[in-house]
Amino acid sequence: MSLVGKKAPLFRAPAVVNGGEIIEDFSLDQFLGKKYVVFFFYPLDFTFVCPTELLAFQELSGEFDKRGAVLVGCSVDSKFSHWAWLNTPKNKGGIEGVRYPIVADLSKSIASNYGVLAGDFAYTEDGLLDFTGEPQAYRGTFLIDKEGVVRHCVINDFPLGRNVFETLRMVDALIHVETHGEVCPANWNEGMDAMKETAEGVASYLAAH
């Protein structure tokens, strides 16, 4: 089931912040009432598509910050794997320079609660716990408002890298809706006309476009 419109599942887990500092008890609670949160999952450290995404988020981190939004990444790797990857140069497959928090979901419970774990735990006929599928997270992106409610999510399969500019556009759209009380039509970008959520508002918008 989609989490859109529901409270984002809470968690406390280790994370690496500021490119190298390990925090044992990281939580999204600290942003409630203060910040929008872009919480995104990726499959694994030291892979191929993943560094392009994490570095792309870092390149636009200033734009998210200007909008009062924080970036938080997460994968099923350990905090030590995150630390090593963050301290590996880009020309060697690393993500050196990434400063936003990266959560270590070694238990896979966070990915499971957010509905992005690419498989399931189940017991075999012999009573043994087994895992069917890929024990890692799909490329899930969740936009969480200041009240802790998920307002947007998109989930990509492993080979399909996400569009970071689209994520930023959705932050802009949410801010516009909350600020102006208007809804954002198809292909809306910041600075374009939005519309009132009434029959007259829709008719006026369509007539002008």
Q: Which long-range contacts (CB under 8 A, 24 or more apart) does 85-89 make?
A: 85/45, 85/46, 86/16, 86/19, 86/20, 87/19, 87/20, 88/46
Query: Could you confirm whether 153 is annotated as catalytic?
Result: no
Residue pair 42/105 in contact (Cβ under 8 Å)? The answer is no
The CB density around residue 132, as the number of other CB atoms within 10 Å, is: 10
Q: How far apart are CA 149 and CA 143, in angstroms?
A: 8
Instruction: Please tell me what DSSP assigns to residue 7.
Output: B
Of 50, 74, 153, 184, catalytic: 50
Q: How far apart are CA 138 and CA 155, in angstroms?
A: 7
| Six-digit token string for 207 | 């007539």
Task: Count Cα atoms within 13 angstroms, Cβ side, for 93.
Answer: 8
Task: Count Cα atoms within 13 angstroms, Cβ side, for 179.
Answer: 10
Q: Which residues are catalytic?
A: 50
